[in-house]
A and B are shown apart, each in its own frame.
Chain A
Amino acid sequence: MNLQIVCAGIGGRGVLLASTILIETAIKAGLKAMASDEYGMSQRGGSVVSLVKVGDFESPLVGRESADILLAFEESEFYRNLPSLKIGGTTLINTSKKSFSTDIEGLLKQRKIKYFFLDADAIAMKKGMIQSSNMAMVGFFSALKISIFTFEKIEETIRQKVKAKLVEKNIEVFQAGYALAHSS
């Protein structure tokens, strides 16, 4: 199984932790996995991209229109990274929006891209954990049951990777993201 995932967002919102959880989950399942991070010059608020490649690859870099999945932790970063998503790919966008402009909808339809909106910030805020919207994203993603990335497997990794005192809250947000995928 080969899978190329682009995680894109802005600094300080947990993009790197999300990609860590994906790569660790893949490795635990016995797959080869690599990640490449780009965090530019600014410490906070700048664009952050983390590329994750799972399977039979040598490099962690993703070419144009090659990614299977685009996890966009912020709407502008979704647009910025859209050229990396392949025809028939899947994307999750953290936004309070319910629809795109007609141009973008047309493009996504033409490129047979499956897309899901989720207001991960709102979910995290509701649980009093604004910083953990990344967990809502990963929770929603786990509901798509892509390859080894199941709810149980990802939850196990979160429990290992997140600081002890924050684990339960993070799991709550993760579960809320998962539940949202099932209700929508």
Chain B
Amino acid sequence: MKEVMIGNFAIARGLVEAGLELAAAYPGTPSSEILPGIVESKKREKLNIHTEWSTNERCAFEVAFGGAMAGRKAACMMKQVGLNVAFPPFLHAYAKSIKGGFVIVSCDDPGPQSSQTEQDTRLLAAHFGIPVFDPASPKEAGDIAYYALKYSYEHKTAVILRSTHRVSHARESIELFKPGSRKVELDEGLKYKGKGKLGIVSSGMTYSITMDVISELGLEKQISLYKVSRVFPLAPEVLQFVKRQEKVLVLEETDVALEAILDHGAKVLGRRSGHVPVEGELTYDIVRSIVGRVAKGQGMKVPEFNADTSIETALKEVKVTPRPPKLCAGCSHRASFYAMKSAFPDAIFPGDIGCYTLGTSLGAVDTCHDMGSGVTFASGFYETFSQDGTLKPILASVGDSTFFHACLAPLYDGALKKRRFILVIMDNSTTAMTGLQPTPQTGITADGTPTYSIKIENIIEGFGIEFLRIIDPYDIPLMLETIKEAYKYLEKESAGPAVIIARRECLLFSKIKDKDTRDMDRLVEECTGCKLCTKSFDCPGSYFDEEKKKICLDEGVCIKCGMCYYACPTSTEGKSLKALKKKK
């Protein structure tokens, strides 16, 4: 039977067919769909597989590692920067450390498209001597997932399956087999045989693009192409291939893994020779231009591709709506940020990783380094000012899933050391950014069975934090007053951190309730054209009509939450908020 599916579902299927018994993951784009894929396959095949969303990547890694030590066929899944969180156990996942099987799926994000940094998992794998596979398509990702688990079980070593977003999120027709019956041979070796002038070594999605580019340029008989699937340990045949070529171009994402292993000085062209860009995704156009240029340099006739710049010239005259990433219309995070910014416009705003990183556009997020860093940075900033004998408003923010993931130790530290900052926990009861996975507070497990819920407020109270408020962020005036009240508390010498839980369900999770919708006519009718709300509120539900000189609603996007009234200086709500701002 065949089915069209994304690469991540193909990986899930491959692992399940190979006899997976235990799977643990923390969501992160582009890896998030693998665990749900495993849940679906286990239900369909009626298999007993333990599946869990762990609280963070280290938990996921160690649960799977522990299972593998005890003889299970286990796997964990995460995004590339998630692997950093799992570093301590990762250092010990070398050969002979397990009795069962252990596949680490780490999804890289060339670009990056939805990460703070690019990072090449293959480099870490090679550095620590862990075999790493780099599939070139969803189909191969499924095959390699199957192969990798068998390989791991046989060799008693952890194995890494490195995917990239183009593999994880591409879709094609995948053949499904009965568990245990898939036949997989590693698809490595010579794909085109040229004349020895130029060889290309490539892996991953870049290999697939290179195939298409070579065929577009008609160079099939001139360039030799070697496909690599297992980047480390590299098969000796690859080195022999390199020897036979006059020049070798290495095309890979994201960093120099193959290139570093192959290192033949001036013979090998790639990132270090300046032929391949050192950052960003290798798009079709970039691969076409690299292959074209290098082939030409080796004396081959290559059809010229000159971009038709008249397209851009004509487009200059058209108004194209810019679409930068924004918080959804009606998102309660926007309301929280607006209250934070209104209460203390000059505060320091340490932020965190999640949807609410987008608070940058409201001027209420100054840092977004890594999961949990908002709270610890707040501590560092507090200590800096405290040393000089000053107290500054520091307003940190974090979402609920990230709070559980990485903020317990930082906040415990902050409480213990009596650091005087405000932490707003934006609790929308889900992991919205990555596709609505449950948090430890949600009360359901990865396969949908109910479990108990750990309440954030109980943790805060357990830390002995004195100032704790739980507020609906849609009540912007109350949020503003509470933030001011929190700062008043911080002025006391004996104070510790003040925590405000801004609690409202994510709109992607639950539709807006009728009682929360507002009549929006007034916004447009009373608009004086000052445009302040477009900057300070930045909601995709409205736009400024330059002809009418008025704010207009995008009916398909606006959910009529009415929060924007508070950002309008002429509305009753805006005026009352202004009065509250002035109040001491």
Residues of A in contact with B (beta carbons under 8 Å apart): 10, 20, 23-24, 27, 33-38, 40-47, 56-66, 76, 79-80, 82-83, 87, 101, 103-104, 106-107, 110-111, 130
Contacts and interface: CB of A to CB of B under 8 A. Distances in A.
Interface stretch (B34-42, B163-171, B462-470, B516-524): B163-171
Interface string B232-263: 00000000000000000000000000000000
A123 B423 CA distance: 49
6 contacts: A20-B4, A34-B172, A36-B170, A42-B540, A63-B288, A111-B308
A44 B323 contact: no
A128 to B, nearest CB: 15
Given A64-B307, A130-B556, A42 B328 contact: yes
Given A45-B328, A76-B321, A107-B310, A64 B172 contact: no
B564 to A, nearest CB: 15
B532 interface: no
Interface size range of chain B in the complex: 35 or more
With most chain B CB atoms within 10 A of its CB, the pick from A35, A45, A82, A83 is A45
A53 B430 CA distance: 35
B361 to A, nearest CB: 12
Given A65-B307, A107-B311, 18 more contacts: A27-B173, A37-B171, A42-B325, A45-B328, A45-B557, A58-B137, A59-B212, A61-B283, A62-B284, A79-B320, A80-B320, A83-B311, A101-B317, A101-B318, A103-B314, A103-B317, A103-B318, A104-B314
With most chain B CB atoms within 10 A of its CB, the pick from A20, A47, A57, A59 is A59
A33 B173 contact: yes
Contact of A46 (B171, B284, B325, B508): B325
Given A27-B173, A104-B314, A106-B314, A44 B166 contact: no
Interface of B: 2, 4, 113-114, 136-138, 166, 169-173, 205, 207-209, 211-213, 215-216, 283-285, 288, 307-308, 310-312, 314-315, 317-318, 320-321, 323, 325-326, 328-329, 358, 432-433, 508, 540, 556-557
With most chain B CB atoms within 10 A of its CB, the pick from A33, A47, A61, A62 is A61
Nearest to B316: A103
Contacts of A41: 113-114, 325, 358, 433
Contacts of B310: 107, 110
Contacts of B213: 63
Given A59-B205, A83-B312, A107-B310, A34 B170 contact: yes
Contacts of A42: 323, 325-326, 328, 540
A24 B173 CA distance: 9
A46 B209 CA distance: 26
B323 A35 contact: no
B402 to A, nearest CB: 16
Contact of B284 (A10, A47, A56, A59): A59
Contacts of B2: 27
Given A41-B114, A41-B325, A42-B326, A61 B209 contact: yes
Given A40-B113, A44-B329, A104-B314, A60 B170 contact: yes
Nearest to B310: A107
A59 B325 contact: no
B103 to A, nearest CB: 24
A33 B173 CA distance: 8
B67 to A, nearest CB: 33
Contact of B323 (A76, A106, A110): A76
B118 to A, nearest CB: 16
Contacts of A65: 307-308, 311
Contacts of B216: 63
A104 B311 CA distance: 8
Given A27-B4, A59-B208, A82 B311 contact: yes
A172 B321 CA distance: 31
Contacts of B166: 36, 60-61
Contacts of A87: 308
Contacts of B320: 76, 79-80
B230 to A, nearest CB: 19
Given A101-B318, A107-B310, A111-B308, A33 B211 contact: no
Contacts of A103: 314, 317-318
A35 B329 CA distance: 29
A45 B540 contact: yes
Contacts of B284: 59, 61-64, 66
B426 to A, nearest CB: 16
A82 B309 CA distance: 12
Contacts of A66: 284
A48 to B, nearest CB: 10
Given A24-B4, A104-B314, A45 B326 contact: yes
A61 B433 CA distance: 25
A10 B208 CA distance: 28
A64 B285 CA distance: 6
With most chain B CB atoms within 10 A of its CB, the pick from A20, A37, A58 is A58
A47 B323 contact: yes
A59 B211 CA distance: 8
Nearest to A161: B4
A36 B170 CA distance: 4
A132 to B, nearest CB: 13
Contacts of A107: 310-311, 314
A56 B215 CA distance: 10
A180 B31 CA distance: 42
A111 B309 CA distance: 12
Contacts of A64: 284-285, 307
A46 B329 CA distance: 11
Contacts of B138: 34
Contacts of B172: 23, 33-35, 60
A17 to B, nearest CB: 12
A66 B209 CA distance: 14
Contact of A59 (B4, B209, B317, B328): B209
A58 B208 contact: yes
